[in-house]
Amino acid sequence: MSAENVHPDNADSEFPEAGELVPRLSEALRSGDAERVRALAGELLVPDMADVIELLAPDDRVGLILALGPAFDFEVLSALDETVRDQLTEALPNDFLARAAIELDTDDAAYLIESLDAVDRKEILDQLPTSDRQALERNLEYPEDTAGRLMQSDFVAVAPFWTVGQVIDHMRESDDLPDQFTEIFVVDPTFRVLGSVELSRLLRAQRNVLVEKIMNEDRHVVLASTDQEGVARQFERYGLMSAPVVDADKRLVGVVTVDDVVDVIQEEAEEDMKKLAGVGDESLADSVLETVRSRIPWLVINLGTAMLGSLVIQQFDATIEQMVSLAVLMPVVASMGGNAGTQTMTVTVRALATGKLGAVNAPRVVTREALVGLVNGLVLSSILAAIVFVWFGSGKLGAVIAAAMIANLFAAALAGILIPLAMDRMELDPAPASGVFVTFVTDVVGFFSFLGLAALLLF
């Protein structure tokens, strides 16, 4: 199928041709052929359009958006990688961003303009209708990565003494309701949440029934200052589809929906994965300098810990000179310990991030990991001892490396859980730093135990 024949109904079969579509778009953009640009990309679905924009060269992205004109769906801006979105907001005209802010939900509009300088942000806000501007300013007042920034300011709230018929008439006649909603919140005169009513239950009730008679009073309320990870955990734990957001005075100010929380869960998982690798919050759209700045700090620390491991080896240089096979086998002990430590550390960091590991169960989990390390050490050391005996014909060397393997895997298990726990206790993020220090422990313990036992027992 030709890339020109893009249609939403055929998105699944068409979009794998993005590698062909992007060069064609680039050619059309650089030749100034706006009609061909619209023919190529005018009917792409939101996620597909976002992927195309991210694949385009930075200089072509703004041209594509402006060439599409009214055919461009502002929701695409919400689906973009954060770095690409920030680059676009700097390059796009402020009147275009103002139109986008009107069309988008308040949480998405806040993310769109948050990175702009104060002058541009004020110019955009001044172009918005009063109600939209006030809602967006309220979102921007809350810190990034909190429920207040994540929430949508549009919601439906009614009094408990209203009847079902009044609520239905209100929804039919009011012009300022959200485009989509599944729950109606019940509030008192001070806008404190009393409960909620699902639309399905409301529509099944008789018109003369009072809202308070059918509302669900067991309502999970989220503080606007709550970290978005905490919000995500509440949604996961209680199976929520939406949750009212309240300010410090317990007044209803917005609503968080499950689609926003899914994005948070994905972002947090990606962030933890990147931090474990020591790359920070970088993106494929970052420049060379930004990427180097993100990666170099932990590489420098890793270099320092590696040099300390080398100092341990230096203490046994005479031993290594007498038996070259020690140099051949040293990496095996260190590598196995590093891999075992990384396994434990990854599980631990993720458990800490999701709140499943804390002071209550930490002793039990530490004991479990220590026993796992010990058992793994016994199994792997037996295999390795047999290999070394066949390879080098030395039972003593096999026993030495087996003992070193047991010691290092046991140490790796303890380091993999205790280091993240210690950093979490000190209120430091365990994800970016744990890997460096766990590797340091396994290198030092592995080299020292192997070479030390060799010096004692083989010479």
Q: Are 411 and 374 in contact (CB under 8 A)?
A: no
Q: Based on the fold, state whether residues 357 and 433 are members of the same structural domain.
A: yes
Specify whether 142 is located in the same domain as 9. Answer: yes
Q: Are 403 and 409 in contact (CB under 8 A)?
A: no
Average pLDDT over residues 414-433: 88
For residue 271, tell me if it sits in a domain.
no
pLDDT of residue 372: 95
For residues 260 and 179, membership in a common domain is answered with yes
Same domain flag for 164 and 143? no
Nearest in space to 21 (alpha carbons), one of 46, 52, 47: 52
Is residue 348 domain-shared with residue 400, that is, in the same domain?
A: yes
Helix axes 94-103, 118-126, angle to 10 degrees: 60
Task: Give burial (CB, 10 Å; 0-12/13-18/19+) of 304.
Answer: exposed
- How wide is the angle at C-alpha 385 spanned by C-alphas 380 and 387, nearest 5°? 95
Give 122-176 pLDDT, tens digit per residue: 999 999 998 889 889 888 889 888 999 999 888 999 999 999 999 999 999 888 7
* Domains identified in the chain, total number: 3
Per the structure, the complete domain to which residue 136 belongs is given by 3-147
Q: What pLDDT score does 281 carry?
A: 66
Look at residue 103 and tell me if it is in a domain. Answer: yes
pLDDT of residue 276: 66
Question: Domain boundary residue among 104, 125, 147?
Answer: 147
In this structure, the answer to whether residues 426 and 306 fall within a common structural domain is: yes
Residues 256 and 336 in one domain: no
- CATH number of the domain encompassing residue 235: 3.10.580.10
The domain boundary, picked from 103, 129, 147, lies at 147
Does one domain contain both 444 and 320? yes
CB within 8 Å of 208: residues ≥ 6 apart: 163, 164, 165
User: Mean pLDDT of all residues in the chain?
Assistant: 86
Residue 348 in domain: yes
Over 60: is that where the pLDDT of 6 sits? Answer: no
Domain membership flag for residue 283: no
Among 207, 233, 266, identify where a domain stops. 266
pTM over the 0.85 mark = no
Rounded to whole angstroms, what are the CA distances from 425 to 54, 418, 419, 428, 430?
39, 10, 10, 7, 10
User: For residue 89, what is the domain's CATH number?
Assistant: 1.25.60.10
- Tell me, what's the pLDDT at 444? 92
Identify whether residues 261 and 304 lie together within a single domain: no
pLDDT tier at 7, thresholds 50, 70, 90: very low
Query: Are residues 220 and 165 both part of a single domain?
Result: yes
User: For 80-128, what is each residue's pLDDT tens digit?
Assistant: 988 899 899 999 999 999 999 999 988 889 989 988 888 999 999 999 9
- Does residue 172 form part of some domain? yes
Write out the two tokens for 253.
């100010």
Same domain, yes or no, for 419 and 330?
Answer: yes
In a domain, 11, yes or no: yes
